[in-house]
């Protein structure tokens, strides 16, 4: 059911990846994404893939969990693959009706799918191994220089951590409301599209009402604890740069440099 959505979910653990500073992980993901999109050939992709597999293995996140994260995006992936397959010019391989598959198209489709899956998996690994609070802490620190330009960095980070914090709560709440409606005979499974959309109204109304109520309560609670924004705020668990982080950062830089060098040789 809805509970199976794993986006933004954190799986606690005690592996080097879990212990790493969030800043290292965020930077690593950025390096990883740049590397992924700079690949000049198969060898580059293999290198990036190896990096991903190594990271997943170290984090001890189960393959099943990772695939579950990819599942909701399967339609987009298939759509991209089909578009690439049929609309890339090149040497014709198969031809039927008005569609042609070319060799370049096939290659493009495969690479595109690999890219998307690697992109999703890589970024999910970040949220799987970093609790939302440390994640936003890391983000805030990384963006700190922007404060000089009067960018509301702290506020953005706070909004993000609240949003992340409430995703599971809202999902849980939706589940509850749906159960309560089902208990009174509401039917969400059968019927045509319009009937199904109509059946959603009884869920959305209480969900919005409770979301606003929660927001209101949260604001009051924060004010009661003297929250006045980021000015002068200290941390319960200040982030510490460890040797692990230096190693992690070096790995990321090596990956990116490696891919760029390979690209020069067209690999």
Enumerate binding residues for other proteins (CB under 8 A): 3, 11-12, 64-65, 176-177, 179-187, 201-202, 205-206, 209-210
CB of 186 to other proteins, least distance (A): 6
| Residue number with CB closer to other proteins (149 or 201) | 201
CB of 66 to other proteins, least distance (A): 12
CB of 167 to other proteins, least distance (A): 15
CB of 69 to other proteins, least distance (A): 12
Residue 247: name the closest of 27, 1, 87 by CA: 27
> 32 and 248 in contact (C-beta within 8 Å)?
no
| Residue number with CB closer to other proteins (115 or 165) | 165
> 10 and 132 in contact (C-beta within 8 Å)?
yes
| Residue number with CB closer to other proteins (4 or 231) | 4
| Residue number with CB closer to other proteins (80 or 210) | 210
Helix runs in 130-152, H state only: 132-143
The two three-digit tokens of residue 23, written as one number? 């800043």
CB of 11 to other proteins, least distance (A): 5
* Coarse DSSP helix, strand, coil percentages of the chain, rounded to the nearest 5 percent: 75, 5, 25
Distance of CA 230 to the CA centre of its chain: 26
Helix runs in 39-102, H state only: 42-59, 63-70, 74-87
| Residue number with CB closer to other proteins (38 or 181) | 181
């Amino acid at each position: 059911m809805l509970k199976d959505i794993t986006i933004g979910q954190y799986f606690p653990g005690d592996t080097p990846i879990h212990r790493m500073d969030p800043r290292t992980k965020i930077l690593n993901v950025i390096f990883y994404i740049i590397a992924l999109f700079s690949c000049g050939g198969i060898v580059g992709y293999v290198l990036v893939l190896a990096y991903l597999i190594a990271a997943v293995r170290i984090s001890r996140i189960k393959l099943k969990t990772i695939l579950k994260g990819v599942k909701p995006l399967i339609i987009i992936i298939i759509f991209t693959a089909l578009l690439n397959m049929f609309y890339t010019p090149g040497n014709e391989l198969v031809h039927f009706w008005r569609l042609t598959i070319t060799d370049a198209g096939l290659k493009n489709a495969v690479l595109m799918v690999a890219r998307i899956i690697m992109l999703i998996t890589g970024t999910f690994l970040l949220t799987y191994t970093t609790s939302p609070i440390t994640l936003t802490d890391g983000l805030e620190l990384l963006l700190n220089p922007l404060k000089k330009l009067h960018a509301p960095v702290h506020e953005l980070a706070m909004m993000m951590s609240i949003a992340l914090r409430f995703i599971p709560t809202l999902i849980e709440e939706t589940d509850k409301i749906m159960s309560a409606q089902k208990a009174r005979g509401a039917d969400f499974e059968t019927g045509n599209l319009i009937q199904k959309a109509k059946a959603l109204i009884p869920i959305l109304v209480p969900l919005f009402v409770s979301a606003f109520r929660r927001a209101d309560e949260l604001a009051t609670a924060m004010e009661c604890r003297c929250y006045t924004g980021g000015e002068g705020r200290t941390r319960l668990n200040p982030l510490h740069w460890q040797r692990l982080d230096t190693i992690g950062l070096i790995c990321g830089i090596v990956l990116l440099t490696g891919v760029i060098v390979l690209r020069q040789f067209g690999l």
